[in-house]
Amino acid sequence: MLLTKHAQNPILKPNPDNDWESLVVCNPGAYYKDGTFYLLYRAAGDDKDHYIYLGLAESNDGVNFTRSSSQPVLSPSSDGPDQGCVEDPRIVEFDDTYYITYAYRPYPPGRYWDFGPDEVQTNNLPESAPYHLKHNVTNTGLLMSDDLKSYKRLGRLTEPSLDDRDVILFPEKINGKYYMLQRPKEWIGEDYGCDYPSIWITSSDDLLQWDEERKLLAKGEVEWELKIGGSTPPLKTEEGWLTLYHGVDDKGVYRVGALLLDLNDPTKIIARPPNYIMEPEHEYEWEGFYKGCVFPTGNVIVDDTLYVYYGGADKYCCLATCSVTELLSFIKKYPVKA
The reply to whether 336 falls in a domain is no
Type of residue at 55? G
| pLDDT tens, position by position, 251-290 | 999 999 999 999 999 999 999 999 999 999 999 999 999 9
Q: Is 16 a domain residue? A: yes
Confidence of residue 225 (pLDDT cuts 50, 70, 90): very high
Does residue 178 sit within a domain? yes
Indicate the pairing of strand 199-204 with strand 240-248.
unpaired
Asked if residues 106 and 84 have their Cβ atoms less than 8 Å apart, the reply is yes
Q: Quick one: average pLDDT of 314-330?
A: 98
337 within a domain of the structure (yes/no): no
Which residues pair with residue 143 across a beta bridge? Answer: 100, 153
Q: Does residue 289 belong to any structural domain of this protein?
A: yes
**In terms of residue numbers, what domain contains 91?**
4-331
Q: Going edge to edge, which strands form the sheet with 294-302? A: 4-5, 316-323, 305-312, 294-302
143 part of a folded domain: yes
What confidence tier does 162 reach under pLDDT thresholds 50, 70, 90?
very high
* 83-139 confidence digits (pLDDT tens): 999 999 999 999 999 999 999 999 999 999 999 888 999 988 999 999 999 999 999
The CATH number of the domain holding residue 246 is: 2.115.10.20
Nearest alpha carbon to residue 258 among 236, 273, 270: 273
95 falls within a domain: yes
**Domain-embedded: residue 338:** no
Task: Tell me what pLDDT residue 268 has.
Answer: 98
Sorting pLDDT into bands at 50, 70 and 90, what band is 216? Answer: very high
Taking residues 6-15, what's their average pLDDT? 98
Q: What is the pLDDT of residue 50?
A: 98
Q: How many domains does the chain have?
A: 1
**With 80 as the cut, is the pLDDT of residue 338 above it?**
no
Q: What is the pLDDT of residue 118?
A: 85
